[in-house]
Amino acid sequence: MSTENEGTPVPADPAAPSAPPTPPAPPTPAAAPAGETAPQEAHRPTPPAAPPSAPQEDEPTAVQPTVQAHTPAPAPAPAAAGGPAGGWPPPPPTVPAWGAPQQPAPAAPRRRTGGLVAAVLVASLVAGGIGGGIGYWAAERGDNGVSSTTVSSGQAPASFKRDPGTVAAVAAKALPSVVTIQAKSGGQDGEGGTGTGFVYDQEGHIVTNNHVVASAADGGTLSVTFSDGKTYDAEVVGRAEGYDVAVLKLKNAPKGLTPLPLGDSDKVAVGDSTIAIGAPFGLSNTVTTGIVSAKNRPVASGDGSGGSSSYMSALQTDASINPGNSGGPLLDASGAVIGINSAIQSTSGGFGQSQAGSIGLGFAIPVNQAKNVAQQLIRTGKPVYPVIGATVNMQDKGQGATIATQGSGGTASVTPDGPAAKAGLKAGDVITAFDDHPIDSGPTLISEIWTHKPGDSVKITYERDGKTATATVVLGERTGDS
C-alpha cells in the first residue's frame, strides 16, 4: 500500500451574489369555498374593495388601505337554496382524514452537475445563495411588522452527551491516542508519505506499519502529530518487514500519554462492529465504521519498493480504509484495538499496491500477532519469526503448499535436523492443513505460521504419493529480516 498523500486542490469559493433575490409576489386571493353562495347584487350599493385573503404560511403580506363607504349598509342577503337554515355558518371545507397522503409540493428545478467535485462546489454555492435570500426576506418581513418565531433544540450540541458505546463516544476517547505520521527519506528529494499510528504505552512508543516508516528508516526524518495539533519528532525502534509492523519512540515524549487498550483478536467474530481511525490521503483524524467481514484471510502485500513481502492472516473489514490509514487502529465497539489497518484490495487485483480508494475490502493485522511483534521490537529491536525449516513453492495455488525440490541458492529445501525434517516431512510433500486451517498456497501457509510463536507445537496435514498423513512440528525461529 502506498502511503503518499494524494490531496485534491479545491478551488476558492466564488464571490457571494452582489444583489439579494427579489422577494416573492403577494399571493392571489383564494376563491370562495364550495358550498357558499355569493351575495345578491340587486339593490346593493357598490361595496368597498374586498380585503386580500389570508396570507399563506411563509409568504409576505401586502398591506392595502381601507376605503371608507358613506352609503347605508346593505340588507342581509337571503340564504341560498340548499344552504344551511336558521343562519348557521357554512360547513367547514373538507380535509383529508388523519394519515391520508397529501399532494406534495412541486419540487424546485435542479441543475445537473458533471462530477463529484463539481457537485460539491455547486452545493456550496446554492447554500450561500439560499442564505442570502433568506436574510433579505426576513428583513423585508420585519420591516412590514410581521413577527417570526424560532424553535430551539432542547439541548445545545456543547451539552449533548453521547452514550458510552456509540461511535461518537468511542471515537472521542480514542482520537487523542491516534497519531498522524509524516515520513521523509534522507535523500535530496525528501520523498516520503503519510500514515497513521497509535500510542502503545506511556513511555512514548508508537505502533504502526513498517511500510509507513520504511522510507525514513535510514537517515530520514519522522514526525508524529496528535489530534490536538501538537507535533513531536520520532525515531525508529525496530521494524519487521515480514509482519509489516514497526515501533517508533517519541523524542521528548509528553507526560500523560494514554495508550489505547488492546483487545483479543482471537475472540473477534464475523459481523462484529469495527471503527477505523486514520489519515486517508492525509486527512487526519478521519473515523469510518463497518464490520468484521471475514477472519483468517491470507494476505500478501508489499510497499511497492521491491522489498520483501509481508504476510498476514488478516481480519477483513468493510470500514473504509484508504492510503494513509496504514498503521492506524481497527477498534471494536468497546474501543479496544483488534487490528492494525495495513492493506486494501484494489480493482487491479493487487493488495495495497494501487492508489485507488476503498472498495470495502480492507485488511488488518490481528492485534494478538502485532502485540507479540511490538514487544519483541521494543526488547531487542529485531523481529523473530517462527519457521518450519522448509522451503515451499510460492506460485502454486489451490492444491496446498508444496515443499520445493530445492531451496534458495541451491540449498536443501528441507533444513537438515530442522523442525520439518524432525517431523518426517520431505521435498514434494503437499501441506494441505496447518492446525486444522486449510492451506491452499505457500503464502497462506506462511500467514498461518506467523500467527504462532517459536516453540509452539502444531499439527500439519500433508499428502505424499496420493496418501494423506499428519505430523506434529515444533516451530523453530529466525531472527531478523535478512
Active site residues: 211, 244, 326
Rounded to the nearest 5°, which phi and psi values hold at 339?
-170, 170
Nearest-angstrom CA–CA distance, 305 and 89:
88
For the record, the C-alpha cell of 387 comes out as 519457521
DSSP 464: E
Do residues 91 and 35 touch, judged by C-beta distance below 8 A? yes
Nearest-angstrom CA–CA distance, 431 and 440:
8
Nearest-angstrom CA–CA distance, 190 and 428:
48
For residue 325, which of 184, 200, 192, 180 has the smallest C-alpha distance? 180
DSSP 82: T
Residue 152 CB contacts under 8 Å (≥ 6 apart), including other chains: none
Vertex 43 angle, CA 37 and 49, to 5°: 65
Nearest-angstrom CA–CA distance, 393 and 401:
6
For residue 386, which of 369, 371, 398 has the smallest C-alpha distance? 369
Nearest-angstrom CA–CA distance, 293 and 273:
9
